[in-house]
């Protein structure tokens, strides 16, 4: 492919790693990853996102419980990316100003976005160094408990977990639908039959070998969609409620 | 620095580019970037985010108006990353199921996160190919108008804009605070005086040369924080209201 380089080759090889070697990341590698996080784009350069590095095994175990993924307790390096408007609001206070709008909808979402960008930048850097990664959206299963566990003050909020380490498994590349179904020109594009359009993806997904349940045949993509959308995680509906408790003034 | 490689070198060199050469991106490069977007991690592999590629100059001009950044109209390649639960909800419907939960809080945020991760992955790939990038959080200045402009159906929502092209300027690297102020172990860490801790960052920011206003001295970071937090963009507070209009059942 024209334009291919090492960076992009790494990106195209991304897969989720759930089992890691029992070996930490060298501290200088960790520092380099944090330097990448530091240089990530940030809305109006406010740098209003932070990272909690979870090294305490008991906290890791609690997070594994929230995630309902036992292997989370064994992840060598566990990072929680957070919205952080607390730091800047303190800076404003120290300068004698009332940071009235630090918790508004706008700030909540710009910090949330910043935290995500930072996480993906760390993922790419880590993978370029031969590390494996796993995103843990499942930390949002109980945002209130996450806030308590990590002692998150007002104007902060958990966004995304990230596990890092040296891979101890080689999962297959996960099938993906064609991008013509996801990239549209100038306006949203509709298709007459989505089932027809994703036929190949549906088929390919059935041949995917899932290391989590190697004995079990994998559902087609459309069957996965149906079973996912049938199910609602009630606690996860409380995200914005908890964000309000954390001091964000979210208007709906 | 130990562990340094080309990928990380590119990431550490990130800066926002606002002026581009009057030259498009070759189509095969665009396709490669979309392949990177495709391979980005996605929550439960649902792939519930999409991209609108804006090529129509009149739509670009409208978006520049929303962003209040005139140069947006001149960006060679303009992408809008969106939450997209519409596609999967249609798939469920075609299979005879009612996708009751496609618009719940949980799905809104997992798609929002997916869209951000995809954007950052594209940024890193683009920069590794010598392209310049600019994030446009400013598309959220008027989410309702963005939805109309891009004809976004129910269960979709704009997240982030991204401009790409060959750079026609060489901005200085933007100062950033030290990561010890942003990376904490096991629990959120408080500091006695943030102003003391960011003294160097404050000072360094004053020496930053902003190409947008070369004549004007740049404020210290803490002064920027104060002036930003004094100001509230009223329309941007409506984000969740507009998301609700788009069919998301957000509970606060």
Give 3-state DSSP helix, strand, coil % of chain A, rounded to 5.
Answer: 50, 15, 40
pTM beyond 0.80: the answer is: yes
* Within-domain flag for B122: yes
Residues of A in contact with B233 (CB under 8 A): 106
User: Are A87 and B229 a contacting pair, CB within 8 Å?
Assistant: no
Touching check for A210 and chain B: CB below 8 Å? no
User: Are A112 and A83 a contacting pair, CB within 8 Å?
Assistant: yes
**Do residues B224 and B149 share a domain?**
no
Number of domains in chain A: 1
Residue B72 confidence (pLDDT): 98
* Within-domain flag for B1: no
Last residue of a domain, one of B171, B200, B222: B171
Distance from the A56 Cα atom to the nearest Cα atom in chain B, whole angstroms: 6
Last residue of a domain, one of B136, B171, B206: B171
Residue A213 confidence (pLDDT): 85
Touching check for B209 and chain A: CB below 8 Å? no
Residue A209 confidence (pLDDT): 85
The 10 Å Cβ neighbour count of residue B5 is: 15
- Main-chain dihedrals φ then ψ at residue B164, nearest 5 degrees: -135, 150
* Within-domain flag for A96: yes
* Within-domain flag for A64: yes
**Do residues B197 and B88 share a domain?**
no
ipTM over 0.90: yes
A224 with B45: Cβ contact below 8 A = yes
**Do residues B221 and B114 share a domain?**
no
Residues of B in contact with A101 (CB under 8 A): 229-232
Which residues lie closer than 8 Å to B190 by C-beta, 6 or more apart? A153
Touching check for B61 and chain A: CB below 8 Å? no
**Do residues B195 and B102 share a domain?**
no
Return the bridge partners of B148, or none.
none
Last residue of a domain, one of B171, B194, B211: B171
**Do residues B163 and B187 share a domain?**
no
Which of the 8 DSSP states describes residue B20?
B
**Do residues B162 and B183 share a domain?**
no
Helices (H) and strands (E) in chain A, counts: 10, 5
Residues of A in contact with B101 (CB under 8 A): 229-232
The C-alpha atoms of residue A120 and residue A139 are separated, in whole angstroms, by: 17
At A56-88, the pLDDT tens digits run 999 999 999 999 999 999 999 999 999 999 999
Find the mean pLDDT for residues A4-10. 97
* Within-domain flag for A206: no
Say how many CA atoms lie within 13 Å of A33 toward its Cβ. 29
**Do residues B16 and B90 share a domain?**
yes
**Do residues B50 and B152 share a domain?**
yes
A106 with B237: Cβ contact below 8 A = yes
At B88-105, the pLDDT tens digits run 999 999 999 999 999 999
**Do residues B135 and B201 share a domain?**
no
Domain that holds residue B77: 6-171
**Do residues B167 and B203 share a domain?**
no
**Do residues B41 and B143 share a domain?**
yes
**Do residues B78 and B203 share a domain?**
no
* Within-domain flag for A191: no
Sites in chain B below the pLDDT cut of 50: none
**pLDDT more than 70, % of chain A:** 100
- Residue A236: which of B5, B7, B105 has the nearest Cβ? B105
- Diameter over CA atoms, chain A: 63
* Within-domain flag for A105: yes
Distance from the A169 Cα atom to the nearest Cα atom in chain B, whole angstroms: 17
- Residue B184: which of A4, A50, A185 has the nearest Cβ? A50
At A178-192, the pLDDT tens digits run 999 999 999 999 999
φ/ψ region of B250 (left if φ > 0, alpha if ψ in -120 to 50, else beta) reads: beta
- Residue A91: which of B109, B151, B195 has the nearest Cβ? B195
Touching check for A14 and chain B: CB below 8 Å? yes
Touching check for A212 and chain B: CB below 8 Å? no
Mean pLDDT of all residues belonging to chain A: 96
E strand or H helix that includes residue A184: strand A183-185
CATH number of the domain at B92, please: 3.40.109.10
* Within-domain flag for A189: no
B226 with A252: Cβ contact below 8 A = no
Structure tokens at A22: 């029992």
Residues of A in contact with B13 (CB under 8 A): 39
Touching check for A129 and chain B: CB below 8 Å? yes
Which of the 8 DSSP states describes residue B136?
E
Touching check for B181 and chain A: CB below 8 Å? yes
């Amino acid at each position: 492919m024209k334009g291919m380089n090492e960076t992009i080759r790494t990106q195209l090889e991304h897969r989720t790693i759930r089992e890691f070697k029992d070996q930490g990341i060298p501290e200088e590698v960790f520092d380099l990853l944090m330097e990448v996080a530091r240089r990530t784009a940030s809305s109006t350069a406010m740098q209003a996102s932070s990272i909690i590095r979870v090294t305490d095994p008991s906290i890791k175990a609690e997070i594994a419980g929230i995630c309902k993924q036992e292997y989370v307790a064994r992840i060598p390096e566990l990072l929680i990316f957070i919205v952080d408007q607390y730091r800047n609001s303190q800076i404003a206070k120290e300068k004698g100003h009332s940071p009235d709008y630090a918790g508004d909808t706008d700030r909540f979402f710009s910090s949330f976005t910043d935290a995500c960008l930072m996480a993906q930048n760390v993922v790419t850097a880590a993978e370029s160094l031969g590390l494996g990664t796993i995103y843990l959206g499942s930390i949002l299963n109980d945002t209130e408990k996450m806030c308590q566990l990590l002692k998150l003050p007002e104007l902060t909020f958990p966004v995304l977990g990230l596990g890092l380490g040296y891979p101890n498994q080689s999962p297959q590349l996960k099938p993906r639908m064609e991008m013509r179904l996801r990239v549209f020109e100038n306006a949203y594009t509709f298709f007459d039959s989505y089932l027809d359009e994703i036929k190949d993806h549906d088929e390919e997904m059935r041949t995917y070998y899932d290391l989590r349940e190697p004995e079990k045949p994998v559902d087609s993509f459309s069957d996965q969609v149906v079973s996912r959308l049938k199910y609602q995680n009630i606690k996860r509906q409380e995200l914005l409620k908890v964000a309000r408790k954390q001091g964000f003034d979210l208007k709906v």
